[in-house]
Structure 1
């Protein structure tokens, strides 16, 4: 009898510990016209999302007169700190915004990181995205910029001919020199790095040329590329802002299907074969593209109680 009681106690303790350690998905977002700041939604299954009311960080920096926060990208560091970068200016800026937090409520002072300061003709710095390289133990930040007359014109006008650039950092205090990240031979934005296997990486990208404006994938052996074997379009015309999350054995690729003013998702196990699972997802009204990370139950409790 004592043995059975002991087993039951151990099982209850294990369940309690498991519940405390359970990770919950968190989706970052913004609301047009992007002046209100950071919005958040959470999910326990990766498919059904519940919005947390109000903004959790108001934008205070930027090169222009109007301070905006678009495309918020958050990743959780090894020490549990959340690092976030975002688009601060639609056009005219040479950098992106950065702030960090332990609980997503109390934030560090916002910083403007002028990563394109050595490019006086740069038109924009769009959709910075953070990826943590667990091999080199450093963060990679990628973004899209246009530098007129830098690349072959193709089908885009000179001020809309984007390429992807990057910096690396270990502490978000010092950064490497800015370098070209991805040059597929056409205007490209909204890239996301996914670690698929030990030495297999996927780059999810938006072909931003006027006839296309849809999402594709390419493949590489390093988070810094090179990325090759670009796929056929995975999404319809006028889609952007992809983000990827692993749910069970499959990956979900969420994207903003802005041409039809809705959100959609694809499921894949290999980034070659995709299934449209849009009918299985639900998101808060007005949700705009960001990235997905994970939080603990304790962090979620704090976010809910704050509001």
Structure 2
């Protein structure tokens, strides 16, 4: 992609990252929540796996450090799925050289049991790196793994293994993904519609490249090379997961900068938002995958009711329709009390999220990352700007409101003004972005 085309694509994403169309539920319904589970090795250890989870794919909190240590070897590049038997399964790199990948299983994502190492039957195999799960639409369970038969590791190619039993203990012979040639590692494959997308590292140029096919085995055709996505080079370890709003998020390791990034796409993995450093874990967590599940629980405001949104850390102040965190008391003017009162409605962009309507019929929306009232013009941009998805807040019973069309940004007060800020891994940010839905002032 040319520099001009990339800048134009980035500008388009900045204006409206979501496609037009009617409101469709993607977030889980009330009483349930999305949970993103990350399994990672770290800068401090290649032999211990850490487990994190997140409600929003941005702010990850530690579930357990050193959650799994294999009986021997390493646990680099751990990849996680949940199988049809209800159990969680890992596959991982067992060593810098050799011909095996490792497997482990768990019932709770925290306590893991070693299943064994699988020897890959490929003549002359020298290196076996970065196995990644891919469950295909036909139900087949596959592992995409990078294999090299060269002592120098200069001929890595992605191969496909397919489970031949439901226990995931028996595997087919390795088959190369046709069309991906020329020393590629860390290949991660997802499917959108009828198209398979492979994001893979060109080990020669150090860029992540994009190839597509109509079947998992290929043949793949490269559609993005060099700096096509704006991620730069000397990057590796891509992992993709779908967000609640239908977009795709990629995480990748900027290993030369010792930082970890994420970036989002809303047009079939063709153009991407500017890279953002992963809060809290950048520079610590390494090459991981993220599993998305719907689980019981979650946070929500009662819909079709009037509520005032009280700040958790400034309980005398409330979200106001003028874009401020206003001080409101019983002696405040009628206009001030009315400005701090909203009708909580099903989200205009996703009915499982929320939109907040003021007394005059306008909606609280963001624009230039500032909060203000706006009139519904029926556009996809307005629906996205005025929809916020509830996440658990910092205090019991509180919610944080994540932007629907800018995942990772939250309604947050600073200096008593409301804005849409990128999540920060700090107690201050979590408190600043947490609100209690209380009895309305008006």
Same fold by TM-score greater than 0.5: yes
Counterpart secondary structure, 2:68: coil
- Pick from 102, 105, 113: which aligns with 2:110? 105
Aligned residue number for residue 190 of structure 1: 186
Deviation digits for residues 199-239 of structure 1, max 9, x if unmatched? 11111111111xx1121111111122221133123321210
1:44, distance to aligned residue in structure 2 (A): 0.8
Counterpart secondary structure, 2:113: coil
Aligned residue number for residue 37 of structure 1: 48
Q: How many residues align?
A: 263
Aligned residue number for residue 9 of structure 1: none
1:134-283 correspondence to structure 2 within 5 Å: 134-135=137-138, 137-148=139-150, 158-169=152-163, 170-171=165-166, 172-197=168-193, 199-209=194-204, 212-233=205-226, 234=229, 235-247=231-243, 248-269=245-266, 270-278=268-276, 281-283=278-280
Q: Which runs of 5+ in 2 are unaligned?
A: 1-27, 299-442
Confirm or deny: 8 A CA contact 2:201 2:207 kept in the other structure.
yes
1:176, distance to aligned residue in structure 2 (A): 1.2
Q: TM-score, normalised by structure 1?
A: 0.79
Confirm or deny: 8 A CA contact 2:33 2:55 kept in the other structure.
no
Whole-angstrom distance in 1 between the partners of 2:297 and 2:291: 12
Counterpart secondary structure, 2:219: coil
Deviation digits for residues 121-174 of structure 1, max 9, x if unmatched? 211100001111132x111111111113xxxxxxxx853221111210142122
Name the structure with the higher strand share: 2
Confirm or deny: 8 A CA contact 1:163 1:183 kept in the other structure.
no
Max Rg structure: 2
1:20, distance to aligned residue in structure 2 (A): 5.0
Whole-angstrom distance in 1 between the partners of 2:75 and 2:297: 22
1:49-88 correspondence to structure 2 within 5 Å: 49-61=60-72, 67-88=73-94
Change in CA separation of 1:246 and 1:111 when aligned onto 2, cut-off 3 Å: same
Whole-angstrom distance in 1 between the partners of 2:251 and 2:191: 16
Whole-angstrom distance in 2 between the partners of 1:25 and 1:139: 20
Change in CA separation of 1:30 and 1:147 when aligned onto 2, cut-off 3 Å: same
Change in CA separation of 1:55 and 1:299 when aligned onto 2, cut-off 3 Å: farther
Whole-angstrom distance in 2 between the partners of 1:203 and 1:227: 8
Name the structure with the higher helix share: 1
1:296, distance to aligned residue in structure 2 (A): 5.6
Change in CA separation of 1:215 and 1:299 when aligned onto 2, cut-off 3 Å: farther
Deviation digits for residues 182-203 of structure 1, max 9, x if unmatched? 4533110000111111x11111
Whole-angstrom distance in 2 between the partners of 1:19 and 1:39: 30
Whole-angstrom distance in 2 between the partners of 1:79 and 1:185: 35
Aligned residue number for residue 13 of structure 1: none
Deviation digits for residues 235-279 of structure 1, max 9, x if unmatched? 212100000111112111110011111011121112111111405
Whole-angstrom distance in 2 between the partners of 1:268 and 1:189: 22
Confirm or deny: 8 A CA contact 2:59 2:279 kept in the other structure.
yes
Is 2:126 aligned against 1:130? no
Change in CA separation of 1:34 and 1:183 when aligned onto 2, cut-off 3 Å: farther
Counterpart secondary structure, 2:260: strand
Counterpart secondary structure, 2:188: strand
Q: Which runs of 5+ in 1 are unaligned?
A: 1-16, 62-66, 149-156, 301-307
